[in-house]
Each structure stands twice: as C-alpha cells, then as structure tokens.
Amino acid sequence: MKKQPQKLNLKGKKITVIGGGLIGASWASLFLAQGMKVVISDPKPDIQDYFNGKLDGNIADLKKLGYTIDSDYKNHLSYVADTATAVQGADYVQENGPENPAFKQDLWQLIEANAPEHCLFLSSSSGITISQQGTKMKNSSRLLIGHPFNPPHLIPLVEILAKDNPAGVDAAMDFYHSLGKVPVLLHKETPGFVANRLQAAIFRECVSLVTDGVVNVKELDDIMTASLGIRWAVGGPFVSFHLGGGDGGFPFFLHHLGPGMELIWKDEMSKPVAYDEKTIQLLDQQVKDHYGNISLTQLAEDRDEHQIALMNTFSKMK
C-alpha cells in the first residue's frame, strides 16, 4: 500500500537553493514562507537584487493563497556563492541550475562531497533524468527529481522520480506535501517527465494550427482558456472522457468517439512541425501583434492573480 504523505514541521530547517533565477527565486519564496532557513547559492553578482525584486510579490501571492507567514521571514535568508560552503549543514537541496547534463553532473558530485549524509537532494530539472545527472556521484540513488511547474510557489504539482531509494521517495513526498504541494511519484524515467511531455504534445498541435492558418495565437489561447483549460483544471483527460461517454462511461467514449479522435491523429498530428526560421518569425510576430502592448511583468501579474483566484475557488470546493 502506498504511504500517505505526512505533514512535517519545516520551520528552522535549512534548505540550499542552487540557482536563484526564475524557478529558484520562486522556490526560495515558498521555503521562506514556511519558516525555513534559506541559502541561495548563485554566482551572479546581481542575484540579491534580482531575488529582492521577486520576493515581496511572491510572498503577497502566497498570503492570498492562505499561507500564514511570520513577519521576520527575511531574517532567514542568506546568500552564499560558493556551492560547497552553501550546502554544509543543509537538510534539503533544491537544485535549479542550467539544463545542461555536464553542468549538473559536476554540480551533484560537488554537493554530495560537502552536504550532510541526511540531506535530501532534489533537482528541479525539467527533463534531464537521474541517470544523466548522477553519473559522477558515488551514490546516485541519493538524487531525486522534484520537478515543479512554473511558478513553483503557486502551481501545486511536483513530479517526483527516484532510483532504488524508497526512503528518499517517502521523504520527498512528505517534504513537498508539507509545503502545500501536490507531489506525484513517477514510476519510471522518461525524458521530459509527464507534465512537460503533455505540454509539448499539446503545443505541437498549437503550432501546427497556427502555422497552417486555422487560427492565430490569440484565438488559440482563447479557445484553450474557454474550453480545455477549464475542463482539465477540474478533471483530467481520463475522467473528462469517462464523463464524455455519458451513461456508458469511458468504454462508450472509446468505441463511439475514439475513431473520430484517431482520424485527427492521422490528419493534423501527422504534419511535420519544427521551429525553423519561418515558423519562429510567424509565431513571434503574432505574439507581438496580440500581446506586445502589455509588458511581461504585467502579463505575469495578471496570470498569477487569475491563477490564485482559480486555486482558491477549487480549495473552497474540497
């Protein structure tokens, strides 16, 4: 029987965040909100200014989600550029470095040599597997994937993957559950994990429909947010199609509506799609035409505001 995640008291626990960019800054904000001692390790000289520019907004978002945050949370934050020093005494490491296998291999070798034995190693990598990352480690089973969806301080999902480390899986599930996340254990390695594979498959068809002239990028976004985005936020594809089969449920859907879906698979999805120069120019121009009058900062703030409202609505329904 699968072990149910346990609620941990993370207050005062030390976590080293490797890489303080977009994902690392988001993670660090959530860890601070839980009263953890956060060390950000990043060699960029402006990393403190960058993170400080993100922190207040991220904390305000978390308060809107119902997090109770101590007023002295900023006192639990420090910056240590040297990785070997930053991981000393750490209870957890959340790595958010470049998506480069060689970089991660050297990084984890360094972390393993300097972090305590009890420290839980977690990688935010969006597609590089443990088998690729851990080649220089003495014990690569210590490394787990803890892949979030952006922005991780808001989006609940964390995909967990491990190799021959049941205790590590339990510890990771407990850790992310205690942060208010929805941790899901993947049963085998696959490039891109699950959420990114789904995203890539859907976006392939999005690019195909736009480049084929069926819709423009704004119309496609409107279609998604007014249909599948709503439906799949409440129930995933399988339960949605189970309900789509009416009284006959999923078997009825497969037998009666499945053939039509197979025809779509054979048609649009068989067309080659690639980010060649022509495609990039077309998509970029349409994004500029439809969204270029709004700053990226404003777009992100609008997205997060709507995301929080959606999540709060669902939490009240449970």
Asked about 117 being catalytic, the answer comes back as no
Q: Return d(Cα 202, Cα 1) in angstroms, integer.
A: 34
Residue identified by tokens 């510890």 is 171
> What DSSP string runs through 243-267?
HHTGGGHHHHIIIIIHHHHHHHHHT
Q: What CA–CA distances, in Å, run from 290 to 226, 277, 284, 293? A: 17, 20, 10, 8
Q: Give first-to-last CA distance, the chain, whole Å.
A: 24
Q: What CA–CA distances, in Å, run from 287 to 40, 49, 150, 217, 269? A: 34, 29, 20, 7, 23
Q: Return d(Cα 148, Cα 42) in angstroms, integer.
A: 19
At 109, the amino acid letter reads Q
Burial class (CB in 10 A: 0-12, 13-18, 19+), 53: exposed
* Selected catalytic residue, list 95, 99, 112, 159: 159
Q: What is the number of other CB atoms lying within 10 angstroms of the CB of residue 265?
A: 9
Instruction: Kindly give the pairing relationship between strand 120-123 and strand 37-41.
Output: unpaired
- Are 250 and 242 in contact by the 8 Å Cβ rule? The answer is yes
Residues with active-site annotation: 159
